[in-house]
Structure 1
């Protein structure tokens, strides 16, 4: 089961598709093994970058079961169960936990406008999934348009003992990490794991502010693993030097709208998935964009 001591790199997995849009079973297995070989300490599936809203309910469950089966208990698997209604959230959560998931992740709907609404929503979500299911707050205001202050996050943590992790994707958000860590160090709130997203754009500094690692999906996950390990070893300069070598592609991958297409293209070029197909609606990369990606990859691999 997922716990508040979770750390390292939980790689966000895209959902591989065949050229005709069907879920690619063979690529899914190959992707899982590649991420584990890269040093992932966990995997996260059916998140925003997993194109979860484009999957039918039976496809999402089948994909989750396949990943969990392929992992075979080697690392925890977190499953995104965000849904428009609590019935769908409850149903998927129950089935993936029965299949062997370590926990679930829940993003707030964009309709939440006040602190009270946010706190109340998560109380209802916990009731829906069951108070014994470990779960992750997904704090991604750039996509959800829901802003959660440190105080709101602390209220959610305190009202739900089964909340064990914050997936931190606020931007700018470094001071939020500092505020939460100061509060837990002072005994003002329970300490939970903080893993950071946004493609790893600020990972070295997030680690230095008190994050426990990353939960994101950069196409060279071994870099994320090495940066986390180097920071934990006190090798700050080496960590930042390595990160800076990848930063141009990290930045390119975090472009709104096109980022997943870029990531899938790189994963295809690295032999991790067979195609870079996105389900419609989704962008297609222009020849100019592909040429830029190829140049960025060449720079990384030459170095």
Structure 2
């Protein structure tokens, strides 16, 4: 089903599994897709920042998207289609929607500086891909260096009906969520879905501020699913207790430059992917970092059985 403003829950950000020689690992891709859906995720977001999208050529991006969409069945698959030019964006967007994607995600280029430039860019992007394709507005100023105020997000939402979701990754960003929900309550902005990223680092309070769930890629997406469920049920203390147990590993995984290596290592340890390899240029964890992650997993296992993993061989 096409993505709309009612989307909620967890749309996990999926990494792209690679063999050590850089080839896409299709078997791990299938296993990863099944794992995420069995964990209770409502959907997946692929070809995002943590999906190493810029390292794939156009044919690879379309093929892995088709593979995941086929495997996921009725689950909603959102595909990152951000590109330097609109021709490539349009080609990938049309290809994945024809394959059955729920929608696409578009990040702003780092050259945008003013509110008018931001609104104009998204207007042109919608003209390029077509107003019939639902899209996710990605707001990640820490990485893209584009500052979207609540006011400019409202302008985009009001001007472009195909904008149905905000991927909220501002930091600090709790007040932004409150401001956007305030616009919605007063009737100055139509309803949209808000899913939050940043590795889940603030998800406990983001849900309380009005977020509909998570769109992030922490290596324990089953925990994110449980946390969102507890928050929706009003079980505040249980939600925070669960979050607090995972926070040291969430924090470690959130480090710029090594976060993907940590995430892939833990997913490999959980048996989800066969290798923690990244396609070049990329890095791997050093021995000390691996030991630190293993220490955090052992500590987490005292509180959450999902972290009880066989000893590292």
The TM-score normalised by the length of structure 2 is: 0.96
> How is 1:184-223 mapped onto 2 (pairs within 5 angstroms)?
184-223=184-223
Partner in structure 1 of residue 29 of structure 2:
28
Partner in structure 1 of residue 9 of structure 2:
8
Give the 3-state SS of the residue equivalent to 1:138 in structure 2: strand
> How is 1:140-219 mapped onto 2 (pairs within 5 angstroms)?
140-219=140-219
Stretches of structure 2 lacking an aligned partner (at least 5 in a row): 304-313
Per-residue CA deviation, residues 66-115 of structure 1 (Å, 9 max, x unaligned), is 00010022x10000000000000000000000000000000000010111
Q: Tell whether 2:45 aligns with 1:49.
A: no
> How is 1:69-80 mapped onto 2 (pairs within 5 angstroms)?
69-73=70-74, 75-80=75-80
Alignment partners' CA distance in 2, 1:203 and 1:172: 12
CA deviation after TM superposition for structure 1 residue 301, in Å:
2.1
Q: Tell whether 2:260 aligns with 1:227.
A: no
CA deviation after TM superposition for structure 1 residue 280, in Å:
1.3
Alignment partners' CA distance in 2, 1:25 and 1:285: 23
Alignment partners' CA distance in 2, 1:94 and 1:37: 28
Partner in structure 2 of residue 251 of structure 1:
251
Q: How large is the RMSD of aligned CA atoms in angstroms?
A: 0.6
Stretches of structure 1 lacking an aligned partner (at least 5 in a row): none
CA deviation after TM superposition for structure 1 residue 302, in Å:
2.9
Give the 3-state SS of the residue equivalent to 2:132 in structure 1: coil
**Total equivalences in the alignment:** 302
Per-residue CA deviation, residues 13-58 of structure 1 (Å, 9 max, x unaligned), is 0000011110000000000010011110111000001000011111
Per-residue CA deviation, residues 209-264 of structure 1 (Å, 9 max, x unaligned), is 00000000000001100110001001000000000000000000000010000000
Partner in structure 1 of residue 306 of structure 2:
none
Q: Which of structure 1's runs of 4+ aligned residues deviate more than 3 A?
A: none
Alignment partners' CA distance in 1, 2:235 and 2:212: 16
Alignment partners' CA distance in 1, 2:185 and 2:12: 27
Give the 3-state SS of the residue equivalent to 2:83 in structure 1: coil
Q: Tell whether 2:136 aligns with 1:122.
A: no
Alignment partners' CA distance in 1, 2:259 and 2:282: 11
The TM-score normalised by the length of structure 1 is: 0.99
Give the 3-state SS of the residue equivalent to 1:219 in structure 2: coil
Alignment partners' CA distance in 1, 2:254 and 2:21: 26
Alignment partners' CA distance in 2, 1:188 and 1:158: 9
Give the 3-state SS of the residue equivalent to 1:123 in structure 2: helix
Partner in structure 1 of residue 68 of structure 2:
67
Alignment partners' CA distance in 1, 2:68 and 2:298: 30
**Worse overlay, 275-284 or 193-202:** 275-284
